[in-house]
Amino acid sequence: MSGDGKYFSTTKKGEIHELKEELRVLDKSRRKDAVKKVIAAMTVGKDVSPIFPDVVNCMQTDDLELKKLVYLYLINYAKSQPDLAIMAVNTFVKDSQDPNPLIRALAVRTMGCIRVDKITEYLCDPLQRCLKDDDPYVRKTAAVCVAKLYDINPELVEDRGFLDLLKDLLADSNPMVVANAVAALADIRETSTQDLLVLTNQSLFKLLRALNECTEWGQVYILDAIAKMQIKEAKDAESIVERVVPRLQHANSAVVLSAVKVVLLQLPLIADEAATKALIKKLGPPLVTLLSEEAEVQYVALRNINLIVQKHPEVLSHEIKVFFCKYNDPIYVKLEKLDIMIALANERNIDQVLLELKEYATEVDVDFVRKAVRAIGRCAVTLERAAERCINVLLELIKQKVNYVVQEAVVVIKDIFRRYPNRYESIIATLCDSLDSLDEPEARASMVWIIGEYAERIDNADELLESFLEAFPEENAAVQLQLVTAAVKLFLKNPQPRAQQMIQLVLTYATQETDNPDLRDRAYVYWRLLSSDPEAARAVVLAEKPVISQGTATMDPQLLATLLGNLSTLSSVYHLPPSSFVTRAVHTPAPSLDNGALLRERTATDDGAGSSAGVSDGAPSPAATAAPQQSSSLIGDLLDLDISDPPPAPAAAAPPPPSVDELVEVVNAQSGKGLAIKAGFSRENNGPVFLLQLANGTQQSLDGFMLQFNKNTHGIAPTSQVVSVPPLGPGETAGASVPLTVNPALINPAANPNVIQVAIRNNQQGVLYFTSACKPEILTAPAPSATPLDDFFGL
């Protein structure tokens, strides 16, 4: 074996001992070979720490190659041998004054990587010198070293004034040094409470100038720093954009995406509409160019484009063809392209899109095929004029009788029916033909819904339902629920003896034999309705259903805004706010409120299709009721309370808008820095609620409202700290109803029984405090769960 490869193949037994011997020989090249063997062993994961002193002994040498190898070893093992690591300090300090800048930089770089407290003390002096070194290579290395030191010992960095020295480097003559200073400050900012990158106009322009000259990576550091700045002046925004737009031509995709982010963030500040339009136009071609890169780069670009087109579809509206899937695209690229195709589909290009989707629906990969079929359904739901064409494509696909295609098609056709009631029922017969092939719960549930909903138009609806009912006990819960509802509908529409028999059978089973409370409750409700007042039953069950909205696939605007602000970061790839996956310890926790939605959001957006919104009739969509519940401690502790989490409260149904009359102004526009708040207590859905009316009189949009009560005589507290209101634009007003619960841990008998102290905060203004009058009566009515089930039915 030749080359370094041989170092990987040392004998197993007595290896450490052998190495030790070899490290002691005088012959330089043999010693170097021994160190190489040590490094090889270290790489494959063997523990070579026992020979620490022997390796460190080789450190004092003129052979730079050997020195580098020893340093590499030191970085890996110093932490496990802190006392021995001190042995190395002298050499480091000496090296940091070497006439050769490469050695000075090497010393300071390596010292910073040795995360041993005792060494950091000795690091300070060399670092101070190196930050002011004449050689830019040494300065740029020293700049990064400040961030390393801050991570080990922040106090030391602040005491020694390294932060100021670092800030001075922002004005360095060498662009590499500037870029590293920016990177180091940004790194420190992640764990510090201070905002270190508050840039003055002057420093901003220095950065913009350095932008043209530094490496591709430096450009990204600078662009990302600019993106995090709060730019307020239109003219600043304009000059930023002017400098940044040429970066869109860069060959490095990270530079391009960061530049896109910076430009998009400045857009709201640029008043001139024509200029804005021209800018948006300029973003298209560079984004498309990213799709010519390797699949990995494409994937990141596509996840970002997905966000961009939700906000600015015009950027790429003429480029839909580039999102057509290629034969050899990896599946993760194809799935992303599909999403973007749907977002960009419009009445002009829909024929082209449908042609593509139809091709995809015959491909081999099952997931891709399913998603293609769902995409056709989504086009139908969003583009009214193209709905018929979409349905024809779906019917063609159904006729090919590929099992999973048929199932997927049935699910989307159900959504199309809900979007355009009474328009396309003629195709039901075709659907019924493939009844037997449906074996997936979602498809079966959808089919049952269709049969129940259109029972009067299907001649043999009763037979079809009966065929499903044979296996009722074994069905999936979703299908069972649909079967109960469909049986009731059939009976109400056509009360034949056969239907009556069927309904008795279903209701008996659902009320007596099942363990599923949802199914049992639904069956009881129908039973009572039917037995007490069939007319009322008709009015309830056959009522006109609200048409499903077309925007089911779009993302929550608040999340979208957060993600767009984090373009070209992992957050924009996961489609999750950074706080949900970043776990770096913060020295002094800064409250972060952009949490809201956790991993669940991901699955929701990934499945994409709004069609998954469930098949439940008329009832408010389950998504609306599942308001964020998990965030009990997100707000930090505004009132310094020692709280244990309140007992989980049942999810409240989507609240009706609170009646504003009873509310009292608790914060006026003046004391609330522009935000006026009215508040009051009431009862809703048999539980106490806190009603809020928020009027935004500021010039900015307010979001992320959260609420906390001080300890009080009743021990009442919000079930969730999140106040579910949409972001409030300037001049807008919104109401919210926050369900309350009683938590014995929060009782303070000494407090004034008639007043509750409240703290409310939002992302822009911070915390406001007020008091609100509270009548104890709101708590007195019995909680809904207190009614025994038996009584309920015995009423």
Distance CA 574, CA 566 (A): 11
CB 59 within 8 A of CB 92: no
Q: Is 144 in the site for other proteins (CB under 8 A)?
A: yes
Binder among 21, 27, 125, 216 for other proteins (CB under 8 A): 216
Site for other proteins in 418-477 (CB under 8 A): none
Which stretches of 153-244 are DSSP H helices?
A: 154-159, 162-168, 175-191, 201-213, 216-228, 234-244
Which stretches of 421-496 are DSSP H helices?
A: 428-433, 441-453, 461-469, 477-493
Q: Which helix (H) or strand (E) holds 35?
A: helix 28-43
Binder among 194, 201, 215, 508 for other proteins (CB under 8 A): 215
Draw the binding track, 561-600, toward other proteins (x: CB under 8 A; -: no contact): -----x-xxxx-xx---x--xxxx----------------
Extended beta strands in 344-430, E state: none
Distance CA 40, CA 8 (A): 6
Q: Is 626 in the site for other proteins (CB under 8 A)?
A: no
Q: Is 289 in the site for other proteins (CB under 8 A)?
A: yes
Q: Is 208 in the site for other proteins (CB under 8 A)?
A: no
User: Residue 108 Cβ, how far from other proteins at the closest point, in Å?
Assistant: 10
Q: Is 340 in the site for other proteins (CB under 8 A)?
A: no
Q: Which is nearer to other proteins, 185 or 778 (CB)?
A: 185
Distance CA 673, CA 325 (A): 52
How many residues does the structure list for the chain? 795
CB 24 within 8 A of CB 54: yes
Draw the binding track, 341-370, toward other proteins (x: CB under 8 A; -: no contact): ------------------x--x-x------
Size of the site for other proteins (CB under 8 A): 89
Query: Which segment (324-332, 440-448, 555-563, 701-709) binds other proteins by CB under 8 A?
Result: 324-332
The closest alpha carbon to 228, from 567, 620, 621, belongs to 567
User: Residue 141 Cβ, how far from other proteins at the closest point, in Å?
Assistant: 7
Q: Is 331 in the site for other proteins (CB under 8 A)?
A: yes
Q: Which is nearer to other proteins, 286 or 704 (CB)?
A: 286
Distance CA 321, CA 733 (A): 42
**Phi/psi of residue 694, nearest 5 degrees:** -110, 125
Q: Is 28 in the site for other proteins (CB under 8 A)?
A: no
User: Residue 524 Cβ, how far from other proteins at the closest point, in Å?
Assistant: 41
Q: Label residues 29-59 b or e (16+ Cβ within 10 Å = b).
A: eebbbbbbbbbbbbeeeeebbebbebbbebb
Amino acid at 249: Q
Q: Which helix (H) or strand (E) holds 122?
A: helix 117-131
User: Residue 569 Cβ, how far from other proteins at the closest point, in Å?
Assistant: 5
Q: Which is nearer to other proteins, 221 or 491 (CB)?
A: 221
Distance CA 689, CA 683 (A): 5
Number of helical (H) and strand (E) elements in the chain, helices listed first: 35, 8
Q: Which is nearer to other proteins, 393 or 492 (CB)?
A: 393
Binder among 52, 299, 509, 526 for other proteins (CB under 8 A): 299
Site for other proteins in 98-127 (CB under 8 A): 102, 109, 112-113, 115
The closest alpha carbon to 262, from 274, 273, 246, 285, belongs to 246
Q: Is 327 in the site for other proteins (CB under 8 A)?
A: yes
Binder among 126, 175, 286, 718 for other proteins (CB under 8 A): 286
Q: Which is nearer to other proteins, 396 or 459 (CB)?
A: 396
Q: Which is nearer to other proteins, 181 or 692 (CB)?
A: 181
Binder among 107, 165, 210, 257 for other proteins (CB under 8 A): 257
User: Residue 758 Cβ, how far from other proteins at the closest point, in Å?
Assistant: 33
Binder among 217, 420, 454, 770 for other proteins (CB under 8 A): 217
Q: Is 603 in the site for other proteins (CB under 8 A)?
A: no
User: Residue 585 Cβ, how far from other proteins at the closest point, in Å?
Assistant: 9
Q: Which residue has the tokens 């806190």?
A: 690
Site for other proteins in 756-775 (CB under 8 A): none
Distances in Å between the alpha carbon of 568 and those of 303, 594, 622? 9, 17, 32
Q: Which is nearer to other proteins, 148 or 493 (CB)?
A: 148
Radius of gyration of the chain (CA): 33
What is the three-class DSSP state of 662? coil
Site for other proteins in 503-562 (CB under 8 A): none
Say if residue 747 is exposed, middle or buried (CB neighbours under 10 Å; 0-12, 13-18, 19+): middle
User: Residue 94 Cβ, how far from other proteins at the closest point, in Å?
Assistant: 20
Amino acid at 573: V
Site for other proteins in 40-99 (CB under 8 A): 40, 43-45, 64-65, 68-69, 72, 76, 79
Q: Which is nearer to other proteins, 36 or 528 (CB)?
A: 36
